[in-house]
Structure 1
């Protein structure tokens, strides 16, 4: 009910000072408006607040987002070339920012098509709302997972250790403690002495100890610059002529 009401209101968004050849300035962006029917045509629009002028191909006029999309890329040099072959330089303009528009020429349309974007070329596919919702849900899950991997009230050193362990083992935070494989607990200050596990998880504990020990060894080596390599002696090439 709310969506129907919103769409009905959006379908009658008025644009002030519309300037179309032979058209009234009281037109609104709906199925009968001049701007809606101009989809696929070359238009020139003036936009608030700085009265910027854009000229290009009207890609679509959308009542759900209350905006138009205009492709301002120049037309192909070859007049016979399809509009779909031209590069895109798209601008999204809200209805409320359009102060006036002028239709410069009819655009390329599918044969025997009706007005609006249904017959516009290149064709405009319907938006798969289910796919968009699934994509949004996946993004939210990934953001929550990423946030769960950030320790709250822990030092950067503790977070670095967590990140190193989680590359090879399932790891999560439990307050300020690190839980590895749901069986091994690493408590602050996250040294080898602070690694604990139940008696029946000794193998898992040993594995985690090796991972933590290897991490600290690599960290220590990085700070010390690593072991210096002995110089390699390169024999001199024999001199020619004795």
Structure 2
């Protein structure tokens, strides 16, 4: 009876080959598409641009990222074996690269499953969109901070001096001037004589001068002498 039910379900989700144009995007990308319904099943898929053929378990079909994830690890020798025992070898394929696909086995699903994610075994948890957005915002903040640490239109030496100061003290760019501790200015050409600060910031000036002095001393030592 189980075999009869399995064959019946295969007939319901079986699908003709997709083509690159026409109605392919609807068949692939919609939530009610055959691919979405086949999550957890074994499929064979042909992909552009070189007609590569992949066979494996469909892990997900996502109409947000417009892509599928397929696990091409071999199916367990025992058809009734749990997919938990199956190793993972995952491939991400954009919908636009799918030339054709066919369902070759339903794989393991929960009793009386719904189409798509709900009946897949192992179960597929919902994506935590709030966590993803927070991670995206954090990445953007870090990228902006990193970009702010790069001087615009300054020499390589100026950037090296900035990086040296930034390893020890709060440092930022203000046009082509280096601002340290929100008080000390290091102006072009970034030498000891080009350090400026308001009254009362003498201690910060001493710190900045020591760091820049060590930078130039180290650079002079590392520079090879010309001649014999």
Same fold (TM over 0.5): yes
- How many residues are paired up? 205
206 and 94 in structure 1: CA distance in 2 versus 1, 3 angstrom threshold: closer
Instruction: Trace 1:12-31 onto structure 2 (pairs within 5 A).
Output: 17-18=17-18, 28-29=27-28, 30-31=30-31
Q: Does 1:100 pair with 2:100?
A: yes
Deviates more, 1:101-110 or 1:185-194: 101-110
Considering fraction of residues, name the structure with more helix: 2
Distance in 2 between the 1:191 and 1:51 partners? 62
Give 3-state SS (helix, strand or coil) of 1:199's partner.
Answer: coil
Q: Contact 2:80 / 2:108 at 8 angstroms: preserved in 1?
A: no
In structure 1, runs of 5+ residues without a counterpart are 1-14, 20-24, 226-242
Deviations 1:18-54 (A, max 9, x none): 49xxxxx9x8344544332221111112223432211
Judged with a 3 Å threshold, the aligned counterparts in structure 2 of structure 1 residues 124 and 206 are, in CA distance, closer, same or farther, namely: same
Aligned to 2:113: 113
| 1:69 CA displacement | 1.6
Matches within 5 A, 1:46-195: 46-76=46-76, 81-195=81-195
Q: Pick the structure with greater CA Rg.
A: 1
Report the Cα distance in structure 2 between the residues aligned to 1:222 and 1:96, rounded to whole angstroms. Answer: 54
Change (3 A) 1:33 1:187: closer
Three-state SS of the structure 2 residue aligned to 1:220 is: helix
Given the two structures, how large is their TM-score scaled by the length of structure 1? 0.75
In the alignment, structure 2 segments of 5+ residues that lack a partner are: 1-14
2:107 counterpart SS class: coil
TM-score using structure 2 length: 0.79
Q: Is the 8 A contact 1:171 1:178 kept in 2?
A: yes
- Backbone CA RMSD of aligned residues: 2.5
Q: 1:151 Cα deviation (Å)?
A: 0.8
SS at match of 1:159: helix
Give, in whole Å, the separation in 2 of the partners of 1:144 and 1:42.
44
The answer to whether the 8 Å contact 2:177/2:185 transfers is: yes
Contact 1:152–1:176 under 8 Å retained in 2? yes
